[in-house]
């Protein structure tokens, strides 16, 4: 596995059906190496399914997924996933959770990653004594120790309180900027999407309904007018499906405004 | 500071033994005063004397080791069979479909009801006792292992696969530890059933062992030896339970429910 370089991920006319239910109709999406993409949408729109397809946990009903030009089949070994619940093994100490599945001498490396997420002093603890935010930080350390080319984040901050969430967003952004892996974040929080992503993709009716670049300088500020503007635009786009044209017009307006 | 520590120690270690000691003293007193016939219940000192006598003649060790051996061999055979079947049927659906119904049918026969048949098959030799113990412990281990495996968090298994664990790593790191608390519950039940089965089997058909010791003593009206045999079973039961508790404490350290117990 190469270090410091993200993978390119391409969805080509991907559709996914569970029984009679068409979850994804037609997804065309290209994620450039090292890019941070946020996928948003109403609950049940299939955004988590998209992520599971990228992880190789599901196979597309039709279409294909390419990873660095190679057709993805079976589990995606270049990818690591962070789930909504941390999914730490309760019977292994923090450090052994971080080193899960690794061979050779990984202890030192594990301590280093735990330092990066600020939990080196909890290495010997059981996961049960950690707070929700700390568990997610351990999960992040576990995901990053193997230097993945692609990090898939399935609403990993959804269950955290507002302050912890902001802390985690900063941590994820910092580590992403240091390591330049490709990141795919599924979230229902538009604020979070705009905070972190290079592009925000909206999934609606099983298709990519909106693909909006976020050209705000990092680190981004929530109080910023352009930030608030963009969040507002996206929210209005999600909430009003009937007045599509108007909102898209508004979005391009606000983009122009920012460019000025 | 020191004083309060001492008080705490007395509370924790001495108080629980208060009632048994009072009962024992009352029992001894009642026999010596003639309120209780030693035919009905011999004095505690007589029981101790009988134990000493058996120990001196070397008879006790012989019976003890025989009973112990039967228990262990039966437990090893039945326990490992139940464990393997539980794992197999828990992990592989087709195996469960093939085997579970049959196992559940056999499970519903009270295994002690098979004693006449077992005596016909094996006589009153060692095999009969070992067989009964094995059948007795098989099912609690099987049922609880299956239940434990079934309840392993699917999310953890999925995580394990995403993080590149091979099938045997999945088994050792996720399936087995995830099922362990349930398996240990099965172990505790099985240890109880192990003694129960052995007592019944040895009492009905045996020429050696603690059960035989008790039945033989009954014929000679040696109430003290009978009481002593019963106490031996109680002691072993307690010992088995302590072992199970120790394993729980050691293997389930990570589980808050088993910490500081």
Per residue, what are the HEC states of B89-136? HHHCHHHHHHHHHHHHHHHCCCHHHHHHHHHHHHCCCHHHHHHHHHHH
Region A7-11: what's the mean pLDDT?
Answer: 93
- Domain identity same for B18 and B48: no
Distances B141 to B107, B152, B180, B190, B253 between C-alpha atoms, Å: 11, 17, 11, 7, 21
- Domain identity same for B166 and B214: yes
Q: Counting Cβ atoms within 10 Å, is residue B97 exposed (0-12), middle (13-18) or buried (19+)?
A: exposed
Instruction: Note down pLDDT in tens along chain B; length 261 residues.
Output: 567 778 888 777 788 888 888 998 998 898 888 888 877 888 888 889 988 988 888 888 888 899 889 999 999 999 999 999 999 999 998 998 899 889 988 888 888 888 889 889 988 788 889 999 999 999 999 999 999 999 999 999 999 999 989 999 999 999 999 999 999 999 999 998 998 898 888 887 778 888 888 888 888 888 888 889 888 888 888 888 888 889 988 888 888 777 654
- Domain identity same for B89 and B1: no
- Domain identity same for B14 and B96: no
Mutation target among B155, B156, B163, B249 for the A interface, most CBs of A within 10 A = B163
> Is residue B201 situated within a structural domain?
yes
Max alpha carbon distance in chain A (Å)?
58
- Residue B156 to residue A87, Cβ atoms within 8 A: yes
Q: What is the CATH number of the domain that holds B56?
A: 1.10.3720.10
> Is residue B261 situated within a structural domain?
no
Flag whether the pTM goes above 0.90: no
Q: Enter the DSSP assignment of A8.
A: P
Query: Where in the sequence is the domain holding B178, given as residue range(s)?
Result: 40-256
Report the distance separating Cα A175 and Cα A80, nearest Å: 14
Report the distance separating Cα A258 and Cα A229, nearest Å: 10
Confidence category of residue A1, pLDDT binned at 50, 70, 90: very low
- Domain identity same for B69 and B31: no
All residues of chain A having their beta carbon less than 8 Å from the beta carbon of residue B169 are 101
- Domain identity same for B214 and B183: yes
> What is the pairing mode between strands A70-71 and A62-67?
antiparallel
Neighbours of A109 (CB within 10 A): 16
Whether complex ipTM tops 0.85:
no
- Domain identity same for B28 and B57: no
> Is residue B76 situated within a structural domain?
yes
Does the beta carbon of A126 lie under 8 angstroms from any beta carbon of chain B?
yes
> Is residue B152 situated within a structural domain?
yes
- Domain identity same for B30 and B78: no
Domains of chain A (ranges; CATH) run: 7-88+147-257 (3.40.50.300)
> Is residue B111 situated within a structural domain?
yes
Please tell me which residue of chain B has the smallest CA distance to A124: B254
> Is residue B192 situated within a structural domain?
yes
Nearest neighbour of A90 by CB, restricted to B158, B162, B254: B254
| Cβ within 8 Å of residue B16, ≥6 positions away | none
A204–chain B nearest CA distance, Å? 27
Report the distance separating Cα B101 and Cα B253, nearest Å: 35
What is the number of structural domains in chain B? Answer: 2
- Domain identity same for B192 and B162: yes
> Is residue B184 situated within a structural domain?
yes
A199–chain B nearest CA distance, Å? 26
Q: Strand A199-204's sheet: what is its strand order?
A: A70-71, A62-67, A9-18, A21-31, A207-213, A199-204, A36-40, A182-186, A150-154, A79-82
- Domain identity same for B136 and B10: no
- Domain identity same for B22 and B44: no
> Is residue B44 situated within a structural domain?
yes
All residues of chain B having their beta carbon less than 8 Å from the beta carbon of residue A83 are 155, 159
- Domain identity same for B66 and B21: no
């Amino acid at each position: 596995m190469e270090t410091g370089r993200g993978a390119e991920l391409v969805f080509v006319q991907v559709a996914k059906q569970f029984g009679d239910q068409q979850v994804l109709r037609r997804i065309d999406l290209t994620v450039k190496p090292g890019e941070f993409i946020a996928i948003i949408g109403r609950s049940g729109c299939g955004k988590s399914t998209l992520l599971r397809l990228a992880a190789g946990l599901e196979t597309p009903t039709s279409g294909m997924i390419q990873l660095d030009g190679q057709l993805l089949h079976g589990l995606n070994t270049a990818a690591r996933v962070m789930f909504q619940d941390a999914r730490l093994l309760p019977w292994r100490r923090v450090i052994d959770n971080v080193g899960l599945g690794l061979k050779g001498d990984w202890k030192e490396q594990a301590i280093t990653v735990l330092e990066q997420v600020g939990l080196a002093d909890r290495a010997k603890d059981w996961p049960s004594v950690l707070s929700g935010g700390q568990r997610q930080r351990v999960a992040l350390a576990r995901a990053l120790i193997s230097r993945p080319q692609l990090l898939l984040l399935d609403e990993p901050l959804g269950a955290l309180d507002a302050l912890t969430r902001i802390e985690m967003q900063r941590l994820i952004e910092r580590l992403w900027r240091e390591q330049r892996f490709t990141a795919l974040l599924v979230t229902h929080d538009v604020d979070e999407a705009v905070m972190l992503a290079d592009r925000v993709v909206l999934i609606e009716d099983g298709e990519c309904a909106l693909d909006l670049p976020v050209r705000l300088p990092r680190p981004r500020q929530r109080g910023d007018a352009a930030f608030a503007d963009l969040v507002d635009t996206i929210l209005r786009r999600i909430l009003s499906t009937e007045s599509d044209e108007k909102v898209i017009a508004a979005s391009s307006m606000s983009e122009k405004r920012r460019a000025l | 500071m020191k004083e309060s520590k001492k008080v705490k120690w007395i509370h924790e270690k001495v108080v629980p033994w208060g009632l048994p000691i009072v009962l024992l003293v009352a029992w001894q007193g009642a026999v010596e005063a003639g309120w209780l016939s030693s035919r009905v219940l011999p004095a505690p000192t007589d029981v101790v004397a009988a134990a000493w006598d058996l120990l001196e003649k070397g008879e006790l060790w012989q019976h003890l080791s025989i009973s112990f051996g039967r228990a262990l061999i039966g437990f090893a055979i039945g326990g490992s069979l139940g464990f393997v079947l539980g794992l197999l049927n828990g992990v592989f659906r087709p195996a469960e479909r093939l085997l579970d119904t049959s196992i559940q049918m056999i499970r519903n026969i009270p295994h002690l009801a098979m004693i006449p048949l077992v005596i016909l098959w094996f006589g009153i030799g060692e095999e009969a006792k070992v067989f009964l113990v094995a059948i007795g412990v098989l099912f609690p281990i099987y049922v609880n292992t299956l239940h434990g495996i079934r309840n392993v968090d699917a999310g953890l298994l999925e995580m394990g696969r995403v993080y590149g664990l091979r099938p045997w790593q999945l088994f050792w790191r996720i399936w087995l530890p995830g099922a362990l608390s349930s398996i240990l519950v099965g172990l505790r039940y099985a240890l109880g059933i192990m003694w129960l089965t052995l007592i019944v089997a040895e009492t009905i058909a045996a020429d050696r062992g603690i059960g035989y010791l008790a039945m033989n003593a009954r014929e000679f009206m040696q109430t003290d030896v009978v009481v002593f045999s019963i106490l031996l079973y109680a002691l072993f039961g307690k010992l088995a339970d302590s072992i199970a508790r120790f394993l729980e404490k050691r293997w389930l350290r990570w589980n808050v429910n088993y910490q500081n117990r």
